[in-house]
């Protein structure tokens, strides 16, 4: 496989994730879309690391950071979703327009 193949796959993943974030009102679907976009960014980093950087550790470190961020983001986002569901009984993003402080 060449660099263009990896970049095309990354573009498809990112586009699917962006579509999920913009088109769905369900917060779980939005979370899945954000995860797809982060995976596309990781794939991009690893592809450029494989084909252009002489030190293979550089891209791998960045991907590990992205995986750590994704894990933290999932934990925080799911706790927010659970809290919203307990208080509002819905996870529809269109119905969550008011913030309480």
pLDDT digits (tens, 9 = 90+) for 40-98: 999 998 898 888 887 878 888 888 998 999 899 899 988 988 888 888 888 777 777 77
Q: Using CA of residue 97, residue 26, residue 15, residue 6, what is the dihedral sign?
A: positive
In a domain, 101, yes or no: no
Residue at 16 is within a domain: yes
Is 20 a domain residue? yes
If one counts the domains in the chain, the total is 1
Q: Is residue 42 part of a domain?
A: yes
Residue at 100 is within a domain: no
Range of the domain at 83: 3-95
Backbone angles phi, psi at 47, to 5 degrees: -65, -45
Q: Is residue 36 part of a domain?
A: yes
Cβ neighbours for 29, distance < 8 A, ≥ 6 positions apart: 20
Question: Is 7:43 a contact under the CB 8 Å cutoff?
Answer: no
CATH code, 62? 1.10.287.3510
């Amino acid at each position: 496989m060449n660099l263009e193949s990896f970049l095309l796959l990354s573009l498809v993943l990112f586009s699917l994730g962006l579509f999920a974030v913009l088109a769905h009102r369900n917060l779980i679907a939005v979370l899945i879309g954000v995860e797809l976009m982060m995976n596309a960014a990781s794939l991009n980093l690893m592809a450029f690391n494989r084909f252009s950087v002489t030190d293979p550790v550089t891209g791998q470190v960045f991907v590990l950071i992205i995986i750590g961020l994704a894990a933290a983001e999932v934990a925080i986002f799911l706790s927010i979703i659970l809290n919203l569901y307990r208080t509002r009984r819905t996870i529809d993003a269109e119905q969550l327009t008011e913030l309480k402080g």
